[in-house]
Amino acid sequence: MALNNSQYDTIIRSYEQKQLHNRNILDKRYETAYAKLPELKKIHQAISELSVKQARKLLEGDDNALQELKAQIKTLSNQGKYLLASGGFPADYLEPVYDCADCKDTGYIDNKKCHCFQKAVIDMLYTQSNLKHILQEENFDTFTFSYYSANHVDPKTGSSSLANMQKAYMTARDFVDTFGREFRNLFLYGDTGVGKTFLSNCIAKELIDKSHSVIYLSSFELFDTLAKSKFGKDEAANQMNEHIFDCDLLIIDDLGTELTNSFTVSQLFLCLNERLLRRKSTIISTNLSLESLVDIYSERTFSRITSNYTMLKLTGDDIRIKKKLMKREGN
């Protein structure tokens, strides 16, 4: 899941369109201000003329004249600001307009991709995958507790499937509400079909809608990408590798369904540890028990997870089977 040349060009064109759109906004603002305040235009013209003179004096090395010109420009600039305010315009009315002030709508900061570019990449990849469609169906608005029973009690914990999901739901809501202010991670575990992926999707949609970068990968996709990046000269995998470590939220779904070996065990630790160091949130879902988790992925990985993640166990019957049965009964 990485950009090809055509997709990259599309994103670059979107930045060019943003720049053009925002320049047009600024041009119209100047027209409006000048129409109401003709004197303001004269002040700006005088500043432009003095700026040219300043550049010449700078080349000539005339420091005294340069300082005098700077003082004149500052005085005129203050007059312009006062005039603009007296006309009822905001102080920043004639400042450059940007969708992203950090990179000034270029997509890059010091030759490195801006966070807005990273999000544009992820959004494009998801728009062209089926995740956008899934999130329209699986989100907090479509969530229901009706599939969870107060009578289905976990013998190990004594908690019902309904109580477990209510706790997980409130934790997920709080995770979204505090995202960006509090650094948190979630570990969702339990039997197949109890709503772990659905709950992850609820969180993903909320954060994507709030302009956070979210990457959702099955465990197989995660380790496949990491392997291609490490062992092969795969530029697409290298790009995706960068996003895996740096996106705002990484969701690893169905941990344990991949073919586990020494590579996957070591890479999981490195991935989780690197994101902890960067303080980038991660959500992991798995059908594995905690005992199986430590047996498969080592005690140090288990320790990283249990000490840095909120552990949420979901229980109950397979919801997918319940839905099929309900559909049959409805027919």
Note the pLDDT tens digit of each residue in 99-124. Answer: 999 999 999 999 998 999 988 887 77
Helix (H) or strand (E) run with residue 108 in it? strand 108-109
pLDDT score at 173? 97
In the DSSP assignment, the letter for residue 311 is E
Same domain assignment for residues 288 and 140: yes
Query: How high is the pLDDT of residue 1?
Result: 45
Residue 305 structure tokens: 């997870």
What is the amino acid identity at position 276? L
Q: What pLDDT is attached to residue 330?
A: 60
Shared domain check, 139 and 88:
no
Same-domain check for residues 189 and 252 = yes
| 309 plus 168 within the same structural domain | yes
120 occurs within a structural domain? no
Query: What pLDDT score was predicted for residue 51?
Result: 83
For 27, counting Cβ atoms within 10 Å of its Cβ (0-12 exposed, 13-18 middle, 19+ buried), the class is exposed
pLDDT of residue 310: 97
In a domain, 116, yes or no: no
Domain range for residue 74? Answer: 5-106
The answer to the question of residue 186 being in a domain is: yes
Q: How many domains does the chain have?
A: 2
> Are 307 and 218 contained in the same domain?
yes
Domain check: are 211 and 324 in the same one? yes
The residue whose two tokens read 């994103």 is 11
Same domain assignment for residues 101 and 148: no
* Residue 117 belongs to a domain: no
In a shared domain, residues 96 and 138: no
Query: Could you say which residues of the chain have pLDDT below 70?
Result: 1-4, 65, 128-130, 232-237, 325-331
Asked if 187 contacts 309 with a C-beta cutoff of 8 angstroms, the reply is yes
The sheet with strand 310-314 has its strands ordered as 214-218, 249-255, 281-286, 186-190, 310-314
What is the pTM assigned to this prediction? 0.70
Instruction: Say whether both 261 and 322 belong to one domain.
Output: yes
Nearest residue to 89 via CA among 140, 52, 134, 36: 36
Name 231's Cβ contacts closer than 8 Å, sequence gap at least 6. none
Alpha carbons 200 and 188: distance in angstroms, whole number? 9
Q: Report the alpha-carbon distance of residue 215 to residue 2 in Å, rounded.
A: 12
